[in-house]
Structure 1
Amino acid sequence: MPIGIDTTNSTGARIRVIGVGGGGGNAINNMISSGLESVDFIAVNTDAQALEHNLAKTKIQIGDATTRGLGAGGDWTVGQKAAEESITELKEVIKGSDMVFVTAGMGGGTGTGAAPVIAQTAKEMGALVVGVVTKPFLWEGNKRGKSAKEGILRLKEGVDALIIIPNQRLLEIIDNNTSFKEAFRIVDGVLLNATRGISEIISCHGTVNVDFADVKAIMSGMGDAIMGIGIAKGENRAEKATATALNSPLLDGVSIKGAKGVLVNITGGDDLTMNEIARAVSIVEQEAGEDTNLIHGVVQNPNMNEQIMVTVVATGFNQEETSVPEVETAVELNPKEKAKPIEIPFPKAPVAPKFPVSKVPRGFYHEKAGVMPTNLISSSPRGEEQLKKFDMPAYQRRGVELSVTTNTPENGEEFNNGLAELQYNGSTKH
């Protein structure tokens, strides 16, 4: 059921941000607390208690008959069913929207299941729909990661553009001592900047204005999108902020070159110069390529305190062979480098307790392949002649010379009985 509908924003394009589930609710709480203006916030959840603590003026508890306000229990099918059950209420708050942001943390129940339903509904009602979602950290488990991946695939069908924030990549930009709570606050901050970077150049009066039609041309039907954010101060701050945005971990090592559309938002204080704007846009344009449809907006914020922030959103990768890469493993390989063969070390032979044995000569195992040479792998003996060979000790059959040298206490070291050294006729065999 809807809880209060906020209709205060009536200037320009009507932009709504819908936070779905626990992660989406936390994200819009952070946006509201950070002073993001000129957008309407809507909190959607199956958890009635979570909605009570949300800062949004408009709140919808979905799936009352399905969940009785107790949440989806991590089951995305429950979240999907809840959204479908409350589709009338959802349409009521979406009605009249020019642009809808759908934000959620993927991998859980409500966000993963309901976000695709809400996005598809908004798109069918004529809104430009942008998804801004997170993928879980690896330590959150394989089940949650798999659920997130499936949810993202469903969400792609209902959005015009989809920005995926891989939480695992954020570990590269936070300190090792960052607390659990602070890490998720940083995640919410990235979601804030992604939403702000797009919405502010439409809704805020800036030095360079961009109308809604321009943004729609960049993002409508573009599919996969990537985003980078850079903040800098001091000398050459425009160049530094732009370079940081273009090399952001959020871009996952992907260049914006080849994108069909690029949106650049430059935010600075009253000291922001036209020359700095020109340099920032020029760097992005050079990186993107001359065939890219690039639009930029400039917003002046007196609270920037000598800082400049550059947000770059690139869209249209799914129209080419290039696509947004998935982050599935803890170890990331540079996509431009070829994979190198992995050498698998074999365990060393056990050492006799009283005779320290020197290392087996290199070549006993094949160095590169990491497997035993076939000539060292014996087969079952056959015939009388082969059986007779087993009357002699194994080291003699294999041509191994065993020499025992006894060290005296003259060198100041104590040995039990001596040092046994294995040799293959004095040479290493491969």
Structure 2
Amino acid sequence: MDSSTPQNYLAVIKVVGIGGGGVNAVNRMIEEGLRGVEFIAINTDAQALLMSDADVKLDVGRELTRGLGAGANPDVGRQAAEDHHEEIEEVLKGADMVFVTAGEGGGTGTGGAPVVARIARSLGALTIGVVTRPFTFEGRRRSNQAENGIETLRDEVDTLIVIPNDRLLSISDRNVSMLDAFKSADQVLLSGVQGITDLITTPGLINLDFADVKSVMQGAGSALMGIGSAQGEDRAVKAAELAIASPLLEASIDGAHGVLLSIQGGSDLGLFEINEAARLVQEVAHPEANIIFGAVIDDALGDQARVTVIAAGFDSVSPETNANNTNAAAQQAATTRAAFGSGAAQPAGVGRSPQRGGAPAFAQPSAQQKWSQPAANDDVPDDAGFDVDLPAEAETGAPAGAARKDALDFPDFLK
């Protein structure tokens, strides 16, 4: 064989659905024709596993549960996965990227997902968790188990995307059936995985490779995902606005140090609208953010533009940055005390660190802030979880239209 001949090395991507929710999500991805990945279904429920069309099916806990499921007990799910450690390791070997998807709150997915993620990471794969938090109507016990499972999984993955099912209620019809509600959750899990894999596996107008994605997601910690789609004039910009103000976001993406931006549209998708959509996301992220951008042409979308934004890097603030912020805060406090006296009242805003510069205010939120969930019947406003006035942000600067449209001032990462 001629050593000078270029070889076609493709990233090996495996999607693991574990537990009932995870396997259902994998089935939905297969139905929707997600390309370029290998599907693996893992469950303690042998009957449910038989109904999956996954490439690989692994029945864990055969001795422990006799194929009858984990009974919503995460300890049983964890033990079942650990008992079949070698089998799981065998099916994950060779993967460059592994997605672990599950519905948190049950037994097999909640307990087994961290075990699968730990094995995948030990094999050197970029490991991404994409899980759902249960609906409020599923009960407090399931909710508590989900919180514990999420925290455990966070320690075992490079990046964790948590999708709060309750937020789906705000974008669903009031007459939606329970079956359709759970299908919507599966669809969002699909979007999270597809938004990343399509950037790597689908030839695009602006191509990305595995190393690009890895640069954002390796060791990134918590991540947020927003999805938007729009039609007609300025469709890409409108889709980007919807994505970064998505009800699925549990907090603002303001201050993200890493952003994956995927824009999909028909062959008539314009350069200017791509530029404006990318600029909108760039303005919201941290000024020094690593923004990985890809544009994929899919004529099946017709007049529709679809934008997926995955923001990460909120947890990865360097010790030096924290030290600098601490010193600055101490100096500011000392100056304030000197000016007002130790007992004097301070004017509003004194002593507050700016939202941008150094570590963002969102960089190290409490667990309660990151995973707070609204009541199922709360009305979620259109800009839920987003504390920036989008129109004002997008229009700041020159008079409307003029300079932007003539100059096409591209962001640095598009030059």
Among 320, 325, 349, the alignment partner of 2:370 is 325
TM-superposition CA deviations, 1:38-84 (whole Å, max 9, x none): 00000000011001000112100011111111110110000000000
The residue matched to 2:248 in structure 1 has which SS?
helix
5 Å-filtered alignment, 1:180-191, equals 180-191=178-189
2:306 matches 1:298: no
Matched residue, 2:40: 42
The alpha-carbon deviation at position 312 of structure 1 amounts to 0.2
Letter in 2 for 1:14: V
Compare the two structures and name the one with the higher helix fraction: 2
Matched residue, 1:152: 150
Checking the alignment, whether the CA contact within 8 Å between 2:24 and 2:186 is kept in structure 1 is yes
Counterpart-to-counterpart distance in 2, 1:134 and 1:126: 25
Counterpart-to-counterpart distance in 2, 1:57 and 1:336: 39
Matched residue, 1:176: 174
The alpha-carbon deviation at position 129 of structure 1 amounts to 0.4
The alpha-carbon deviation at position 328 of structure 1 amounts to 3.8
The residue matched to 2:113 in structure 1 has which SS?
helix
The residue matched to 1:298 in structure 2 has which SS?
strand
2:198 matches 1:200: yes
The residue matched to 2:128 in structure 1 has which SS?
strand
Matched residue, 1:314: 311
2:290 matches 1:245: no
2:107 matches 1:64: no
Which runs of no fewer than 5 residues in structure 2 stay unpaired? 1-7, 317-362, 388-415
CA 1:277–1:328 in 2, change beyond 3 Å: closer, same or farther?
closer
Letter in 1 for 2:185: V
Counterpart-to-counterpart distance in 1, 2:164 and 2:116: 22
Among 196, 208, 211, the alignment partner of 1:210 is 208
5 Å-filtered alignment, 1:9-48, equals 12-48=10-46
TM-superposition CA deviations, 1:139-195 (whole Å, max 9, x none): 100000000000001101110000000001111000100111111111111111100
Checking the alignment, whether the CA contact within 8 Å between 2:249 and 2:385 is kept in structure 1 is no
The alpha-carbon deviation at position 322 of structure 1 amounts to 3.7
Checking the alignment, whether the CA contact within 8 Å between 1:95 and 1:125 is kept in structure 2 is yes
Matched residue, 1:118: 116
Matched residue, 2:227: 229
The residue matched to 1:171 in structure 2 has which SS?
helix
The residue matched to 1:265 in structure 2 has which SS?
strand
The alpha-carbon deviation at position 289 of structure 1 amounts to 3.3
**Worse-matched range after superposition: 315-324 or 254-263:** 315-324
Structure number with higher relative contact order (C-alpha < 8 Å, ≥ 6 residues apart): 2
Which runs of no fewer than 5 residues in structure 1 stay unpaired? 1-9, 338-430
Matched residue, 1:283: 280
Number of aligned residue pairs: 327
Scaled by the length of structure 1, what TM-score is found?
0.74
Letter in 2 for 1:213: A
The residue matched to 1:221 in structure 2 has which SS?
coil
Checking the alignment, whether the CA contact within 8 Å between 1:46 and 1:67 is kept in structure 2 is yes
2:105 matches 1:81: no
Counterpart-to-counterpart distance in 1, 2:198 and 2:365: 28
Matched residue, 1:396: none
Matched residue, 2:334: none
CA RMSD, Structure 1 to Structure 2 (Å) = 1.7
Scaled by the length of structure 2, what TM-score is found?
0.76
2:264 matches 1:259: no
Checking the alignment, whether the CA contact within 8 Å between 1:166 and 1:327 is kept in structure 2 is no
Which one has the largest radius of gyration? 1
